[in-house]
Amino acid sequence: MSTIEKNDIVTIAFIGKLDNGAEFMTVTQENPMKVHVGASEMPPTVETALLGLKVGQTRKVRVSPDEGYGPRQKDLLQTIENPEFIEKIKPRPGMILSLKVEREGEEHQVPATVIEINDKSVVVDYNHPLAGHHLNYDITILDIQKSS
- Is the backbone of residue 7 left (phi > 0), alpha (psi -120 to 50) or beta? left
What is the structure's pLDDT at 83? 74
Q: Which fold has domain 74-125?
A: Thrombin, subunit H (2.40.10)
| CA–centroid distance for 7 within its chain | 23
In 3D space, the residue among 41, 38, 7 whose CA is nearest the CA of residue 27 turns out to be: 41
What is the structure's pLDDT at 103? 82
Judge whether 9-69+131-145 and 74-125 match in fold.
Answer: no
CATH of region 9-69+131-145, choose from 3.10.50.40, 3.30.70.60, 2.10.25.10, 3.30.428.10: 3.10.50.40
User: pLDDT tens track of the chain, all 148 residues?
Assistant: 799 999 999 999 999 999 999 999 999 999 999 999 999 999 999 999 999 999 999 999 999 999 999 999 999 999 999 877 778 888 899 999 998 888 888 999 999 999 999 878 999 999 999 999 999 999 999 999 998 7
d(CA 20, CA 146): 36
What is the DSSP code (8-state) at residue 29?
A: S
What is the three-class DSSP state of 147? coil
End-to-end CA distance of the chain: 17
What is the DSSP code (8-state) at residue 68?
A: T
Q: Domain residues of the chain, as ranges?
A: 9-69+131-145, 74-125
